[in-house]
């Protein structure tokens, strides 16, 4: 490979060399993007306009929806624009911004899910002290820590990635993804970023372990609740969160446990869609399915008719 002392543009991977398939991917991405945007905006609006939902759990859910909007907005619009223009280039500065904001929103997403597990633990295992522990100031402080920590993480990873000298500008992915960019490095600085990635994996494993241990305590408490209604109510607030965590973790594992290959595969793009776009799209539906308070807020927000309400209630 030639030594690129100054890369001004990266070439991203095409969805397909066939123009018809490019258009097909364009409409697929547009459908996924609009679904994700609509679902998360409805969650934000429902919480904002219903004072009954002004509680810590829904405050964190609103933050999660904002992060999910950020994840898809960093990747999908640029990909759709490239598909429309039939060009697959991205400027160096755009690539830096894409890496920074994508990692920022993904890290925020996972850190916030850890905080939400703590919120459910306090609500179910220590309900008498819930308002004292999870007061407004504490919730704002936790959210600020999540955003700031993710900002620092994104900055470190972005600097660790683009401190490298790149020997090629051809990225084998349809967006600027750190592992794909590191493969283009022809300097030893890539080892710094690999070290940061390994550290992030340990931190992610620690957060996931915290969530699992927390839910072991939660379920132990729930099973001791004598009332069937009480158990159902507790599960209705816990299962959506646990499902969201599971979707995020298993889609990531689904993508990265594959044997590494140097040659691009036709399955690379579907795999990438699964772990980048599908979780943010599913999150609003997961929370709406089991949460009657969200359903009620959405009914009031949309002011749907009786027939539609009956169908929505059956979901």
Which residues lie below 8 Å from residue 282, measured CB to CB, with a gap of 6+? 244, 247
Tell me what pLDDT residue 1 has.
44
- pLDDT for 271: 78
What pLDDT does residue 3 have? 46
Q: What is the CATH number of the domain that holds 306?
A: 1.20.1070.10
Q: Is residue 39 part of a domain?
A: yes
Is position 261 within any domain? yes
Domain that holds residue 294: 12-314
| DSSP summary character for residue 5 | S
Gap between the Cα atoms of 119 and 208, Å rounded = 15
- Whole-structure pTM value: 0.86
Maximum C-alpha span of the chain: 70
The whole-angstrom separation of Cα 8 and Cα 217 is 52
Tell me the C-alpha distance between 4 and 308, whole Å: 59
Asked if residues 271 and 258 have their Cβ atoms less than 8 Å apart, the reply is yes
Residue 211, domain member (yes or no): yes
Number of domains in the chain: 1
Query: Of all helices (H) and strands (E), which one includes residue 10?
Result: strand 9-11
Secondary structure letter of residue 142 according to DSSP = H
Look up residue 305 and give its two tokens: 């008719």
> Is residue 296 situated within a structural domain?
yes
What is the structure's pLDDT at 307? 41
Among candidate residues 286, 254, 311, 241, the one with its CA nearest the CA of residue 36: 286
Q: Show pLDDT as tens, one digit a residue, over the chain (315 residues).
A: 444 446 788 988 877 777 788 888 889 899 999 999 999 999 999 899 888 889 999 999 999 999 999 999 999 999 888 888 888 889 999 999 999 999 999 999 999 999 999 999 999 999 889 999 999 999 999 999 999 999 999 999 999 889 888 888 888 888 998 888 888 888 777 788 788 888 888 888 889 899 999 999 998 888 888 888 778 877 777 888 888 888 887 776 665 555 555 555 666 777 788 888 888 998 888 887 767 778 788 888 776 544 444 444 544
Residue 266 included in any domain: yes
pLDDT for the residue 266: 62
Is the residue at 75 inside a domain?
yes
Position of tokens 């600097």?
A: 159
In a domain? residue 185: yes
Give me the phi and psi of 177, to 5 degrees please.
-110, 135
On whether residue 146 sits in a domain, the answer given is yes
């Amino acid at each position: 490979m030639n030594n690129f002392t100054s890369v001004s543009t990266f070439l991203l991977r095409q969805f397909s060399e066939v123009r018809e398939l490019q258009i097909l991917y364009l409409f697929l991405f547009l459908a996924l993007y609009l679904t994700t945007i609509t679902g998360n905006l409805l969650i934000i609006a429902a919480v904002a306009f219903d004072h009954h939902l002004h509680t810590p759990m829904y405050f964190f859910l609103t933050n999660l929806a904002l992060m999910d909007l950020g994840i898809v907005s960093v990747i999908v619009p640029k990909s759709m624009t490239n598909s429309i223009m039939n060009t697959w280039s991205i400027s160096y500065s755009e690539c830096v911004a894409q890496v920074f904001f994508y990692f920022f929103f993904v890290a925020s997403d996972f850190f916030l899910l850890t905080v939400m597990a703590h919120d459910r633990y306090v609500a179910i295992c220590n309900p008498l002290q819930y308002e004292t522990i999870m007061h407004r100031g504490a919730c704002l402080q936790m959210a600020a820590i999540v955003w700031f920590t993710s900002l620092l993480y994104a900055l470190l990873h972005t600097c660790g990635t683009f401190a490298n000298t790149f020997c090629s500008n051809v990225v084998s992915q349809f967006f600027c993804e750190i592992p794909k960019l590191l493969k283009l490095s022809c300097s030893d600085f890539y080892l710094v970023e690999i070290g940061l990635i390994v550290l992030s994996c340990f931190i992610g494993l620690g957060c996931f372990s915290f969530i699992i241990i927390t839910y072991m305590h939660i379920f132990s408490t729930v099973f001791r609740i004598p009332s069937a209604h009480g158990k159902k109510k507790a599960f209705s607030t816990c299962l959506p969160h646990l499902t969201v965590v599971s979707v995020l973790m298993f889609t990531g594992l689904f993508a990265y446990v594959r044997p590494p290959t140097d040659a691009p595969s036709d399955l690379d793009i579907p795999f990438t869609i699964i772990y980048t776009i599908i979780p943010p799209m599913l999150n609003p539906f997961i929370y709406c399915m089991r949460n009657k308070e969200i359903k009620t807020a959405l009914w009031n927000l949309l002011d749907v008719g009786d027939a539609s309400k009956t169908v929505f209630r059956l979901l």
